[in-house]
Amino acid sequence: MDLEELKKTVAREALSFVEDDMVIGLGTGSTTSYFLKFLGERIREEELEIYGVPTSYQSRLLALEYGIPIRALDEVDAIDIAVDGADEVDPQLNLIKGRGAALTMEKIIEYRAGTFIVLVDESKLVNRLGEKMPVPVEVIPAAWRAIAEEIEVFNARAELRMAAKKDGPVITDNGNFILDVKFERIDDPLDMEIELKTIPGVVENGIFADIADIVLVGTPQGVRKLER
């Protein structure tokens, strides 16, 4: 089974958590895109009363395309579930997220969800966070260089993320820059998440420690469900 098929399989499985009258946090990325498509179809077919709270311009545009009614975070009383992808998942279900630069709104919404469900294929499972992927850190533009230097005390190298279809750096949905931080090793994800957050000028970082409730893992043999 190819990667896209694995993503579709986990995205379909996530529909089993969806019930009528729910408010759902809508994640960002290629795996979640399939979930949004299937969610839109289900809302239409079963005439469900569901609202989505987008975590990015990408999920907002896809929700509009697939007919998912949307609400802003300050228009809802609570978020029942949130569904999103991840870049790495460790055995304790700590995550690295933010390859798509949407980490800040993702964390704001997923932290507040009753149940946060993560969709990955098995290539995203690691023994230790940071094994394959850098940790994206969203920073206030004026502070990028100072923060990049300060991050070196953690035995890490920070690189300013450059845009692919624009000259210069990636600008996030919030108007900030992204530093991709490659650590030598991350021993304690929660501790590192907090350390990064306390640097002045850091808006948010892509370590999501102790937030995921359920991880659905797509494998050629089917979907594995991991729970915290």
Which of 87, 74, 199 shows the shortest CA–CA distance to 138? 199
Q: Which residues pair with 63 in a beta bridge?
A: none
Asked whether position 134 contacts ligand R5P by CB under 6 A, the answer is: no
- Whole-angstrom distance, CA of residue 179 vs CA of residue 21: 38
Asked whether position 209 contacts ligand R5P by CB under 6 A, the answer is: no
Q: Is residue 55 annotated as involved in ligand binding?
A: no
Q: Exactly one of 84, 88, 173, 180 binds ligand R5P (CB under 6 A); which one?
A: 84
CA angle 132, 58, 90 (to 5 degrees): 25
Asked whether position 25 contacts ligand R5P by CB under 6 A, the answer is: no
Q: Exactly one of 43, 62, 68, 103 binds ligand R5P (CB under 6 A); which one?
A: 103
Asked whether position 102 contacts ligand R5P by CB under 6 A, the answer is: yes
How many residues lie near ligand R5P (CB under 6 A)? 17
- Whole-angstrom distance, CA of residue 52 vs CA of residue 54: 6
Q: Exactly one of 26, 50, 83, 86 binds ligand R5P (CB under 6 A); which one?
A: 86
Residue 202 φ/ψ, nearest 5 degrees: -80, 125
Active-site residue, 106 included: yes
Which structure tokens are listed for 186?
A: 């991350």
In the complex, the residues that contact ligand R5P under the rule CB under 6 A are: 27-31, 84-87, 97-103, 106
